[in-house]
């Protein structure tokens, strides 16, 4: 078997993460751009355990080595192999102004500045709920995106299970929505939002503690025009956050926004998520903007499986964890899923490692 397929097969057997030869090719391509392990994960679009195992395997084959500064580099054998296989680095032409999202976070400077000011004392991300906050630029861009798509002005909006990003606060701050309800399991975030709403006299927004593993009461169903969330990547969390979000939508033509990453789940799992969205829930995917969400590094990183299985001890120093921003729309006959979650695998499974 040729080398890329052999490595893909061996790492798949070892990690339980589905892989094909081009996943391994992509790791090589990433290494041609950077020696930083965490950026290699970012550019490879693969779960951390897969990249860690591929890199370790290639080190054991004398194709890669780690230098004194913990950079991952090609050996002469590695360079010869890359040349022989014709592997190239990908181009990098992302817009530096909008950071590649297509929505200029600086468009409304007053809004951007106010949000930064309000976010500066935010509670720090904690491991218990797999928190990891997106940058303020990401949060502001989410709101602009919603506005452009007609999902902000005059809308009843539910933001749930993702308030470490303060998206609900940002939506409320525009004062353009009809109402904003924020649900999160973390009381620190709920108190933070409600205090700001009180101080600023924002009366159409409220925040409440809620555990999304529990079904919603009847009065939450068919109540909102738009939901926003950012689940952990397990199937149980996908249903609890997104299935339940769809259940709260009023009618066909309503919209849901959420992030899905390839750092904690594979492209094979994305296919299964997309099948659930299309077939089980009866929605259509209108948008996927890859790497829209940029997550600030979290303090608990050294305690995670990701840190433990990495081929280097060096912690990430730059943004490496990013996720795609999905927008779905309900179609006639869409299904409202609102079952209890009994699955114990809620935050972490074989593809995830950053919790
Ligand atoms: N534990 C690391 C931070 C993870 C933040 N959640 C990202 C969810 C993407 N759907």
In sign, the C-alpha dihedral spanning 8, 235, 160, 120 is negative
* Nearest Cα residue to 42 out of 260, 322, 264: 322
Give helix 3-15 / helix 21-31 axis angle, nearest 10°. Answer: 100
Strand partners, 158: 181, 227
Cα atoms in the 13 Å half-sphere on the side-chain side of 334: 31
Token look-up 């308030």 returns 163
Cα of 235 vs centre of ligand 1, distance in Å, is 14
Task: Specify the ligand 1 atom closest to the Cα of 162.
Answer: 6
Cα of 83 vs centre of ligand 1, distance in Å, is 36
DSSP helix/strand/coil, 141: helix
pLDDT in tens, the chain (355 residues): 799 999 999 999 999 999 999 999 999 999 999 999 999 999 999 999 999 999 999 999 999 999 999 999 999 999 999 999 999 999 999 999 999 999 999 999 999 999 999 999 999 999 999 999 999 999 999 999 999 999 999 999 999 999 999 999 999 999 999 999 999 999 999 999 999 999 999 999 999 999 999 999 999 999 999 999 999 999 999 999 999 999 999 999 999 999 999 999 999 999 999 999 999 999 999 999 999 999 999 999 999 999 999 999 999 999 999 999 999 999 999 999 999 987 677 887 899 999 9
Fold matches, 3-85 and 109-330: no
Q: Which two tokens stand for residue 284?
A: 């259509």
Exposed (0-12), middle (13-18) or buried (19+): which is 274, by Cβ within 10 Å? middle
CB atoms within 10 A of CB 152: 20
Token look-up 């933001």 returns 159
- What are the pLDDT digits (tens) for 24-41? 999 999 999 999 999 999
Backbone dihedral angles phi then psi of residue 258, each to the nearest 5 degrees:
-160, 160
CATH T-level fold of 3-85: Arc Repressor Mutant, subunit A (1.10.10)
Q: Which two tokens stand for residue 74?
A: 């090609």
Cα of 325 vs centre of ligand 1, distance in Å, is 12
Cα of 284 vs centre of ligand 1, distance in Å, is 23
**Domain range list for the chain:** 3-85, 109-330
Please state, for a pLDDT cut of 70, what percent of the chain lies above it.
99
pLDDT of residue 343: 67
Query: In the CATH scheme, what is the code of domain 109-330?
Result: 3.40.50.150
Q: Which residues form the pocket of ligand 1, taking CB atoms under 6 Å from any ligand atom?
A: 130, 132, 230-233, 259-261, 295, 298, 323, 354-355
């Amino acid at each position: 078997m040729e080398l890329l397929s052999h490595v893909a097969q061996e790492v798949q057997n070892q990690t339980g993460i589905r892989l094909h030869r081009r996943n391994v090719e992509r790791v090589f391509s990433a290494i041609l751009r950077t020696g930083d392990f965490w950026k290699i994960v970012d550019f490879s679009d693969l779960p951390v355990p897969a990249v860690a195992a591929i890199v370790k395997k290639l080190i054991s084959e004398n194709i890669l080595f780690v230098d004194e500064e913990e950079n991952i580099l090609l050996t002469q054998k590695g360079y010869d192999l890359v040349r022989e296989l014709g592997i190239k680095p990908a181009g990098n032409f992302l817009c530096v102004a909008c950071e590649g999202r297509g929505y200029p976070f600086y468009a409304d400077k007053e809004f951007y500045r106010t949000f930064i000011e309000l976010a500066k004392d935010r509670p720090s991300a904690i491991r218990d709920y797999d928190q990891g906050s997106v940058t303020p630029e990401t949060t502001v861009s989410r709101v602009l995106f919603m506005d452009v798509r007609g999902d902000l002005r005059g809308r009843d909006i539910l933001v749930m299970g993702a308030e470490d990003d303060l998206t609900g606060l940002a939506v409320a701050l525009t004062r353009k929505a009809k109402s904003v309800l924020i649900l999160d399991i973390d009381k620190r975030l709920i108190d933070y939002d409600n205090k700001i709403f009180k101080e600023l006299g924002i009366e159409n927004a409220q925040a409440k503690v809620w555990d999304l593993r529990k079904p919603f009461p009847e009065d939450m169903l068919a109540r909102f025009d738009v939901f926003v969330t950012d689940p952990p990547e397990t199937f149980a969390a996908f249903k609890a956050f997104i299935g339940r979000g769809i259940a709260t939508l009023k009618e066909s033509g309503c919209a849901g926004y959420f992030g899905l990453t390839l750092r904690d789940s594979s492209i094979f799992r994305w296919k299964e998520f997309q099948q659930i969205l299309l077939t089980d829930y009866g929605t259509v995917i209108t948008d996927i903007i890859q790497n829209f969400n940029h997550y600030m590094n979290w303090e608990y990183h050294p305690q995670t499986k990701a840190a433990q299985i990495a081929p280097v001890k060096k912690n990430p120093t730059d943004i490496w964890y990013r996720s795609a921003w999905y927008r779905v729309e309900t179609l006639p006959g869409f299904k409202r899923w609102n079952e209890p979650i009994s699955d114990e695998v809620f935050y972490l499974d074989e593809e995830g490692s950053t919790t």
